[in-house]
Structure 1
Amino acid sequence: MAKVTPFIWFPEGAKEAAEYYVSLFDDGRILWVQNFPTSGAMDPVVYTLAFELGGTEYYAINGGPAFKPTMAYSMFIEVDTQAEIDRLWDALLKDGGEPSQCGWLTDRWGLSWQVVPTQLWEFYASDDPEAVNRTVAAMLTMGKLDLPALQAAFDG
């Protein structure tokens, strides 16, 4: 059976980023680190590593400046409470991240994340198109998603 694993290219700081990400999730962990061999008195440099978040394995590389992460690929986090939205949103913006719209943000390493309440899918799956439209309209006004406000919009 084939295995598909996301592989994230960081210009630099892959290990620092991965260590930070795994600190945010109860089940997060570094799986392995491969150092790039160096000669002389230099310390080995981290080249690639693997980490796990939410049961998904990721590979990361310190690949240099040729490529940078973009919003075309994002890490999608579903959480159950506003407190979890707040905690993860604030943590991922810490030390230089940039907020965006509709639950999207870019962290200090340039990786994009979406922090979304699990209830959003229930709202979208509703048979009431007006409730869905109200929810989407409310979401489009938000940076960090506000679950009580989304629920209120859905309820009308």
Structure 2
Amino acid sequence: MQPKNTICLWFDKDAQDAARFYAATFPESRVTAVHYAPSDYPGGKQGEVLTVEFTVVGIPCLGLNGGPAFRHSEAFSFQIVTEDQEETDRYWNAIVGNGGKENACGWCKDRWGLSWQITPRALTEALAAGGDEAKRAFEAMMTMVKIDIAAIEAARRG
């Protein structure tokens, strides 16, 4: 049964590659269907992959191969909460190591231009603590590319 709400992500022509990568990288992620264009359309030809249904950490998504008209921006991102440095490193390295790009404060982009926030729970807990503890953790985060949990925890302690 199709979910009532699905995130539609526009790709040039490689939605299936992206969906396969996400399914192989993140838990609770899988490709559920591939649909082919019944005729030519502005972004492609009859018989090419038109849409791909997939989930990313349990979130239903639809990849649309719409052509080069639109690009992803940081206005949309997936935030993946991690439990430890090993998990943080694994997701970060998977995205960046597969043609992605590092950004600041735990953000990176995959090779298709989608933004990801690889966010350790330790960081969100430190920020939620408020006061000087949150300020120190926030200031430490602002100097980072990939989040270093040990550095966040040290900053939190003062």
TM-score (norm 2): 0.90
Q: Which residue of 1 aligns with 2:80?
A: 77
Q: Which residue of 2 aligns with 1:18?
A: 19
Q: Distance in 1 between matches of 2:13 and 2:73?
A: 15
Q: What is the RMSD of the two structures over their aligned residues, measured on CA atoms?
A: 1.7
Deviations 1:11-31 (A, max 9, x none): 121100110010012321111
Q: Distance in 2 between matches of 1:97 and 1:18?
A: 15
Q: Which residue of 2 aligns with 1:4?
A: 5
Q: Does 1:125 align with 2:128?
A: yes
Number of equivalent positions: 152
Q: Which residue of 2 aligns with 1:151?
A: 153
Q: Does 1:116 align with 2:119?
A: yes
Unpaired segments of 5 or more residues in structure 1?
none
One-letter amino acid of the counterpart of residue 132, structure 1: A
Q: Which residue of 2 aligns with 1:48?
A: 51
How far off is 1:44 after superposition? 2.1
Contact preservation (8 Å) 2:101, 2:109: yes
How far off is 1:37 after superposition? 2.8
Q: Distance in 1 between matches of 2:125 and 2:25?
A: 26
Unpaired segments of 5 or more residues in structure 2?
none
- Residues 58-73 of structure 1: pairs in structure 2 closer than 5 A: 58-73=61-76
TM-score (norm 1): 0.91
Give runs of ≥4 in structure 1 deviating > 4 Å. none
Q: Distance in 2 between matches of 1:3 and 1:118?
A: 29
Contact preservation (8 Å) 2:36, 2:46: no
Q: Distance in 2 between matches of 1:95 and 1:58?
A: 21
Deviations 1:113-146 (A, max 9, x none): 000001222111214x111110000000000000
Question: What SS class does the counterpart of residue 8 from structure 1 fall into?
Answer: strand
Q: Distance in 2 between matches of 1:4 and 1:154?
A: 38
Q: Which residue of 1 aligns with 2:140?
A: 138
